[in-house]
Each structure stands twice: as C-alpha cells, then as structure tokens.
Amino acid sequence: MALLPVLKSLGAAQVCMRLLPLCMRVQEKWNSAAEGVVILDNGTLLATEAAWQRYPQMLCNLANEGKLVYPSLQWALADSAFVRQCLADGDASRRELARRAALALDAETLAKQSLLDIVSDAYSQGASDIHFRMTGSEARIAYRIHGQLRHQTARSRTSVTEAIAAALNTQSDDFHDVFDESQVTGASITLTLPDSGLPIRIRSQKSPCRDGFSVTLRLQADSTARALTLSELGFASERAKRLQHIMGQATGLLLISGPTGHGKTTTLAALNREVPATRKVVSLEDPIEIIQPRIEQKYVSTDNNPEAFAHMIRSVLREDPDVIEVSEIRDLATAKAAVTAATTGHLVVSTVHATDAVGILSRLYDLGVSSLQLSQPHLFAGLLAQRLLPKLCSSCKERVQDNRWGTVYRQSKSGCEQCNFTGSNGRIAISELIVPNEEATTFIREQKLSQWCASLAQQGWDSMACEAFMWVQRGVLDPSYAAELIPGYAQHAGAELQQEPAHV
C-alpha cells in the first residue's frame, strides 16, 4: 500500500485509545528514539522512516490489528518527535481519564523525551526562550525568535506539565522542592540535544496565573562554549575599543542597562574576555547563566535575604578581587555597596533596568542613592545601554515608500525558507556609551538629566537612536521596530529626514 506524505500536524485527529496499549508495547520492544509507531483515531497508522525500513513485517502485523478497528486503515510517514508527541499526549490522557497506574513504558522517560523534542525544535529555530501557558486542558506554547513571539501548536497540559516536572526532578542541580503549580520557583536544567550531542543549559521560571500557571524556559545553549567577543556581538569597532579600555581600568563603576532578554548577561561575559589574566574577577549572580571557567562565579540566593547581594559584595572585598561583577542592581543596599566597592580600588560591573544610558542615573536616584554619592569624581567608568533588534532577512525584505520614513526596507509578512518564514534573521546590537566627564558630574549632582541629554546631543553624541537610524538607512532594520524599541528614535529620524530625504 502506498504511503501518504509525511505527517507534521496532528490536526483534529487524536491517538486511538483502544489501540494505544498495543502501540506502546511495540514501542517498548523497539526501545529506540528513531523508530516509533502510533495509530490515530482517523484510521491512520503513523510510523517513522527508520521503523518502515527495519520492521516492515511487524508494522504489517500491527496494521492487521488496526484494521479490526479501522477497515480502511491508511499508512503515513511521520518524524520521531511527532510520534513521541502523539504517544505522550495519548498516554497522559489515558492515565488521567482512567486514573490507573502508568503503562509498562516508562512515562517519565517519555515525558522527558517529549520536553527534549520541544527544546530541540525551539533551538533549531534560533529561539532564545520557550513560553508555556497552562490553562484548562491545554498547554499553549510560543517561542521567542529574534525578539518576537512565535506561537506553536498547543499540546496536552498534562503531558507538558509532567515533562517539565520530570526534567526539574532529574536534570536540575538546584531544584530541591516538590513540583507545585501554585508556587513561584526558578531552577536550572541541563539537557543534551539528541542530534548534535550539544549540552544546553536552561533557566526555568514558573509562576501561577488566574486560570493555571506559566513556565518560561530560557535557552542558554552550550554551557561549555566560549563567551563571544564584543565585535562578535555586533558592537562597533570604536565602541568595543572604549569598552576594552574601561575593562583595563583599576577602579570605577560600569553599568549596563537594557530590557530583559536583550543581551546584558552576554555582554558581561564578553567584557570578561577583555580582563587580563593577571587580574582576579569575582562574579555574583542570580542565577548563574553563562559558565565562565576563568571567572569566580558565585551563586547568590535572595529568596530568604533580599540584601544578600550587598552582603556578598562586602564579603568578597576581603577576597582580594580586582574586578567585582554583580548580575543586577535591584535595591538600595546593593547599589550603595557597589558604589563603595568602586571607590575603594575596584572595578565594579553590573546591570540595571533603565531606559537608556542617562536613565541609569534616574534608576539609581529612584533606588535612593543620593546625588552627592553619584557625583563623586571618577566614580563612573561608563554607562552603557543596549537593545537587540531583529535584522531583516536579506532574501525576503521588501523595499517600500513609507509616508513617515521615506524609502525603507520592511519585514516581509510571509517570510521565506532562509528565515524560517519569520521575516527576520538574527538580531543586531544597538548601543550607546557615556564616559562621564567633569561637566557630567555637575549635571548628576544637580540632577539635571534632561539638560545633560541636550548637552550630549549638541556634542554629536552617538546615541542608540543615531546608530539605529544608520542601520535603517542601510536596509538592515525595519524602522517600525526601531521606533518601538529605541528611545528617541522617532524624533531623531524625523529630524534627519527633514534635512535629507531617506535613501537605501
């Protein structure tokens, strides 16, 4: 009998519950990730190509059994991940409805493999995060690819929940609780991708919602891979040189701002590559995301002590460090401790949540740090702000005449094979750097940040808006995303376009 084309979507069909035990027994006998079979309730027998090649007679025997239920049974190819998805969802439904013991096939192993399939698929598409939204009986799944959410096929809530719980219980080194949907928890998971053997580190965060709960998995790729350089991250040559100079200084405070998921931790790791081997770097992190063997990385838990970072900064000062890194300044105690360390013979590098480079000062004011403390001479080694914007796919981007932006390139709505039909291909780092001088110290002490911004603009400062406008003009960025994500872009672009018509 001729095979149907490769099936990639379950559609409205589900696993035939009557024949599921038979399929599970065959799957257990094969005991292989590459060979799988399942029968759907629409009368279709799905098997992987490896199963058709190695066990044709066994599949014929299984088909004969299936014809007792579906006289017009059809045959179709499917990949192993899809077969496992069907088996996992069907097995979860069966056990939930029947309320009886698990089948002979190890449900936990199947659940963990099901999660690995999702992670592998997300990683192959270049996703940075996987979002699970558990509600009712389904798990809605979305991947964040190049900064944008891409929704995937919904799955069984029971099977996905079991997969995540199994991974936390067996493949996490810092999850020590019983899995509880109503609790807020975070932990790390280490998995190995089946095809490449690549180890991948995942940071999970779980929290309850009104009608269920959500889980976010941040994919951190190969935990043993080297940190990228500043140029590899997309920093311009001149900016990279200035940052390299800052990392060679003995004292000062370098702060990096940007939204969550815009590469601040990756930039910290790149900056560490610029520190000479003769200097000792101590990094205080919650959580530890990128493994860096040459750096003394210390996990700091704030669950029971909100001021744990401040205490650790004061503690490591007695360990003779040259550079102290703090994953994030979140409170007044940590901010004050960082300032003290920076003014007592250490280079301190950290991140804060702020709109732009000048906005870092506003954030520190809001935390309660006085303007007198922040205006100390030579306190700030640098203020860096960054954003990651999706790059237009060079194969399918569309050149248009826009009433607002002039002649520009925009993201294709349909995409192409080169960009996996997303319209974008990777992201580009847009940044701005300020090294405060004596004039800046006066603005900081008097808290005249708007006047400081105006002064910087008059001096021709290369802001994020300037850099983004350049990439839009070169056809690398969609102006809509630049206007949405870059502070002050619309005003800057408007002024530039009034002086000279846009061209690509």
pLDDT digits (tens, 9 = 90+) for 161-207: 988 988 888 888 778 788 888 888 888 888 888 777 788 888 899 99
119 has pLDDT over 80: yes
Query: What are the helix (H) ranges across 350-401?
Result: 359-367, 371-374
Report the pLDDT value the prediction gives residue 107, as an integer from 0 to 100: 53
Q: Could you give phi then psi for residue 297, rounded to 5 degrees? A: -90, 125
Report the pLDDT value the prediction gives residue 329, as an integer from 0 to 100: 96
DSSP state of 119: H
Higher pLDDT, 110 or 190: 190
Report the pLDDT value the prediction gives residue 6, as an integer from 0 to 100: 56
CA atoms within 13 A on the CB side of 253: 31
Q: Are strands 347-352 and 252-257 parallel, antiparallel or unpaired?
A: parallel
Q: Could you give phi then psi for residue 79, rounded to 5 degrees? A: -80, 165
Report the pLDDT value the prediction gives residue 191, as an integer from 0 to 100: 86
pLDDT digits (tens, 9 = 90+) for 447-471: 999 999 999 999 989 999 999 999 9
* Tokens matching residue 207: 């929290």
Report the pLDDT value the prediction gives residue 452, as an integer from 0 to 100: 96
C-alpha distances in Å from residue 169, one per residue of 38, 172, 177, 188, 287:
28, 6, 9, 11, 18
Query: What are the helix (H) ranges across 172-232?
Result: none
Least confident of 103-112, 245-254, 349-358, 453-462: 103-112
Of 274, 298, 301, 57, the residue nearest 175 (C-alpha)? 301
Report the pLDDT value the prediction gives residue 213, as an integer from 0 to 100: 95
Could you tell me the strand order of the sheet in which 380-392 lies?
296-299, 281-285, 323-326, 347-352, 252-257, 380-392, 424-434
Report the pLDDT value the prediction gives residue 177, as an integer from 0 to 100: 80
* Tokens matching residue 120: 């592998």
pLDDT level of residue 4 (50, 70, 90 thresholds): low
Least confident of 73-87, 169-183, 274-288, 385-399: 169-183
pLDDT level of residue 502 (50, 70, 90 thresholds): very low
pLDDT level of residue 395 (50, 70, 90 thresholds): very high
pLDDT digits (tens, 9 = 90+) for 206-253: 999 988 999 999 987 555 556 678 888 888 889 999 999 999 999 999
Q: Return d(Cα 361, Cα 466) in angstroms, integer.
A: 21
Report the pLDDT value the prediction gives residue 5, as an integer from 0 to 100: 57
Report the pLDDT value the prediction gives residue 222, as an integer from 0 to 100: 56
Report the pLDDT value the prediction gives residue 232, as an integer from 0 to 100: 85
Report the pLDDT value the prediction gives residue 387, as an integer from 0 to 100: 94
Q: Are strands 148-151 and 155-156 parallel, antiparallel or unpaired?
A: unpaired
Higher pLDDT, 106 or 327: 327
